[in-house]
A and B are shown apart, each in its own frame.
Chain A
Amino acid sequence: MASQSPGVSQRYRWTELGLFIVPFLILILEMSQLLLANKDQTSSLSTRNLPTIQGLIPAVGLIIALLVANMVMSIFFRKADQVLLPLVGLLSGIGILMATRLGPDLSPFPDPALGSRQLVWVLLGIIVCLGTLFLLRNINVLARYKYTSALLGIVLVCTTLVNTLRVKNLDSPTHDQLNIGPFALQPSELLKICLVIFFAAYLSENRDVLAEGSLKFGPFRLPPLRHLGPLALMLGIALLFFLFVRELGLALLIYGLFMAMLYLGSGKISYVVTSLLIFAALGFIGYTLFSYVRARFAVVAFNIVDWQNWTARDDSFASNAGLQIVQGLIALSSGGILGAGLGLGHPAGKHFVPVIQSDMIFTALGEELGLAVLFAIIAVYLLIIYRGFRIAIEATNIFNQLLAAGLTSIFAIQAFIIIAGNMKFLPLTGIPLPFLSYGGSSIIANYIIVGILLRISYNTAVERDGTA
């Protein structure tokens, strides 16, 4: 940790560099494990026999990128948070290795270049993160553009809606993607950042009004109707996703974000209870009206442990609608505590989990790396979230606090929804696991979030004890 005296050696971000060492070791270790597993006869890995140098590219490339990021941060943003980047770097590294390992085994379309593409996305993400740090000099500027941000959000929703109506195939896992040229864009990833900026700006401006609460319904107090309008609009967006785009996960994410930020902004639990009740009611209506919601919940109620007594109907369910979850759980159980070892399990393939590289990545990690590593990964998420909320607590004004807390909540809610979905605890929905899942939009959006968090922590530190 650098102290106040401005010696050159003390101006470096030593803590961050120190925290990078073990993740780097882990990356190299796992990469060599992958190369060795390739030689193993029993391995399912059908990679072209990687030349050692080329095989090391994913790990070494990321290590170099993170070191460069560490140096750039030391020169320009020495006082920014030092713990966030190593945590995020470790997760991205595991994500890249997993993509490298899964790519050649994917079932309808094997994709040996999946890992290198994920690496390129992560590199772009790190660049975008540093770019955000440089461009966003004054965070409060974002508050002035809150309606622009809300508008951008609505435009993103509309494009998704139009696209969905055009595609019509609501059961395909990629129906919410926008295909522009060679890029498949996922507008929902940017949407969540826009929404947090809007919520943070809106709540920080109207905090006094919202905290008082003038409408009374029995034990519940609601803010005046005039101030409820924009918030109700956001709720509407969540519902639109729920009903038309059939993005249950995104609806849950937006609603969870809305409740978290409303509570953070007003400090009133009654708002949260009210919105939860509304959500429960709407959810129930959705459940009775829409068959796709029922189908999603059917998986949660499905008893897998009792597989010996399955009827023919259960059997067909497990190999059709419930295939992803059932196979995912089997993969997890076959991994056990230590896991099969990277490259030695059977996570991807014709009869195994579909969409393993993005939505179901958690089960692939469980099968190959084991329960012990899953716990460690959840702990890494917890530490990221802790760090985010700490940045929020230390921030100097309400907008920055709400923004940091809201952005952190995205990680928390998103990781919870998708991990719970993988575990058959909630209906499975197609949202990516932050930093681990394959996917460009998700990686870039998450790195933008990290950039904003780092900038807030930097601004706070500079305001607290000067630039020295």
Chain B
Amino acid sequence: MPLDSFLLILRLLLIVLLYLFLMQVVIAITRDLRKTALTSADGAGQAAPVLGHLVVVDSGPSSITPGTRFDLETQTTIGRGPTNTIQLPDNFISSEHTRLSFRNGQWSVQDAGSVNGTFVNNQPAYNALPAKAGDIVRVGYIQFKLTQ
């Protein structure tokens, strides 16, 4: 019967299309992977020079001496926990306190859900705030000056 054979063709076509779709997705994914591999290779080349520093201006209640310099990376995290780039042993600092990221030539500072907050020039940084060299970044009760 023609209907029967037509239905069989439809069935086979379905399987072909499904696997075609899978192949398409896999190709899209590999292209995506290759692209990120390229960009991260670029990023590795750029990350070598130090992009900026945080200098302690006012150490607040903590035992850090004012004038201490911390080097910054493109993605820097500040907090009490051992996984942070900059670890500050102070009771007013949360285990994950602040995140700084450098993109398109500009620093942005964001609070990472801390208790005592992060401020850029006394503006609370609940959402990412831009910061430039010379700005005062307050993490808990410790004040830093951002320098290039």
Chain A residues with a Cβ under 8 A of chain B:
1, 15, 18-19, 22-23, 25-26, 29-30, 32-33, 36-37, 39-40, 82-83, 86-87, 90, 138, 140, 143-144, 204-205, 207-208, 338-339, 341, 344, 369-370, 372-373, 376, 379-380, 383, 386-387, 394, 396-399, 463-466
User: Are B103 and A464 in contact, CB atoms less than 8 angstroms apart?
Assistant: yes
Min CB distance B128 to A, Å, is 8
User: Are B83 and A208 in contact, CB atoms less than 8 angstroms apart?
Assistant: yes
Q: Which residue of B lies closest to A468 (CB)?
A: B104
Indicate which residue in B10, B25, B36, B99 contacts A397 across the interface (CB closer than 8 Å): B99
Q: Is the interface of B mostly helix, strand, loop or mixed?
A: helix
Q: Does B48 contact A (CB under 8 A)?
A: no
Min CB distance A370 to B, Å, is 7
Q: Is the interface of A mostly helix, strand, loop or mixed?
A: helix
Q: Does B41 contact A (CB under 8 A)?
A: no
Min CB distance B106 to A, Å, is 10
Known: A22-B24, A83-B25, A208-B82. 14 other contacts (CB 8 A): A1-B32, A26-B21, A33-B7, A36-B3, A140-B112, A140-B113, A205-B95, A205-B96, A341-B7, A369-B11, A376-B15, A376-B22, A396-B101, A398-B96
User: Are A15 and B15 in contact, CB atoms less than 8 angstroms apart?
Assistant: no
Q: Which residue of A lies closest to B11 (CB)?
A: A341
User: Are A397 and B15 in contact, CB atoms less than 8 angstroms apart?
Assistant: no
Query: What are the interface flags for B1-28 relative to A under an 8 Å C-beta threshold, 1 for contact and 0 otherwise?
Result: 0011011101111110111111011101
Residues of B within 8 A of A29 (CB): 10, 13-14, 17
Q: Which residue of A lies closest to B23 (CB)?
A: A22
User: Are B7 and A338 in contact, CB atoms less than 8 angstroms apart?
Assistant: no
Indicate which residue in A32, A338, A376 contacts B11 across the interface (CB closer than 8 Å): A338
Residues of A within 8 A of B28 (CB): 15, 18-19, 82-83
Bound: A463/B103 CA distance, A:
8
User: Are B10 and A33 in contact, CB atoms less than 8 angstroms apart?
Assistant: yes
Decide: A373 near B29, CB < 8 A? Known: A18-B24, A22-B24, A338-B12. no
User: Are B103 and A383 in contact, CB atoms less than 8 angstroms apart?
Assistant: no
User: Are A87 and B25 in contact, CB atoms less than 8 angstroms apart?
Assistant: yes
User: Are A40 and B14 in contact, CB atoms less than 8 angstroms apart?
Assistant: no
Bound: A18/B28 CA distance, A:
10
